[in-house]
Amino acid sequence: MNGLFITLEGAEGAGKTTAAKKLVDLYISLGKQVVFTREPGGIEISEQIREIILCNNNTSMDGRTEALLYAAARRQHLVEKVIPALEQGKIVICDRFIDSSLAYQGYARGLGIDNVLKINEFAISGCMPNLTIYFDIDYKIGLSRINKDNKREQNRLDLESEIFHKSVVEGYNLLLDKYPNRIKKIDANMSIDKVVEQCRFIIDKELL
Ligand code: TMP
């Protein structure tokens, strides 16, 4: 595949989505073909799976069920949207991907990073990102940002305990050690313009 697959990762309220939109505009203005998408979701079937996973009523959902649903949404999204775009040589910027499952389900939910990796290897059949940018933020600052955002609906995962969100960050830190070549960290406590600047520096250096 000729394209570039870039994923953005981080705890809640790290600013990935806002930064991603600015990055897309930036690279389009530089004449690149860019696709922006998100997980879980990005296409009809995966958005439907997202509704099930994140619905606030589904508090009885088992951890393994949750992990399998994220992997299923990921599979369909890859096949329908990400892989075709990469085959056309486009840059795909995806808000969350496999590392979210490893940090949230594998580590924070306690299913085991290796167990969750295994089901995801089946789902993605080798289509790993070329580059992953990790938005590093104190989880408390991230949570206070999302609580202040009135337009944002609180989903089932947002409502998890503070300990869960703290473990998500610990999980990501383990992944930074496990995949030092692929995952690069930026300081997401800064202003949005500074965050975008850091992302651009990494993308240009690593890939373009
Ligand atoms: P979002 O709010 O960033 O769109 O993501 C939805 C929620 O789903 C967020 O709390 C992170 C969580 N998530 C996982 O737990 N595992 C995953 O594999 C993905 C993609 C997201």
| Size of the chain, expressed as the number of residues it contains | 208
Residues with a CB atom less than 6 Å from ligand 1: 12, 38-40, 70, 96, 100-101, 104-105, 157
Residue 107 lies in domain: 4-206
- pLDDT by residue (tens digit) across 81-125? 999 999 999 999 999 999 999 999 999 999 999 999 999 999 999
List, in order, residues 6 or more apart from 22 with CB less than 8 Å away.
Answer: 192, 196
Q: Give the tens place of pLDDT for each residue, 163-178.
A: 999 999 999 999 999 9
Strand partners of residue 185: 134
pLDDT in tens, 117-152: 999 999 999 999 999 999 999 999 999 988 888 777
What's the rounded Cα separation, in Å, for the pair 199 and 38?
A: 17
Q: What is residue 36's three-state secondary structure?
A: strand
172 Cα–ligand 1 center, Å = 13
Task: Give the CATH number for residue 37.
Answer: 3.40.50.300
Residue 166 has what pLDDT? 96
Measured in angstroms, how far is the CA atom of residue 40 from the centroid of ligand 1? 6
User: What's the total number of domains in the chain?
Assistant: 1
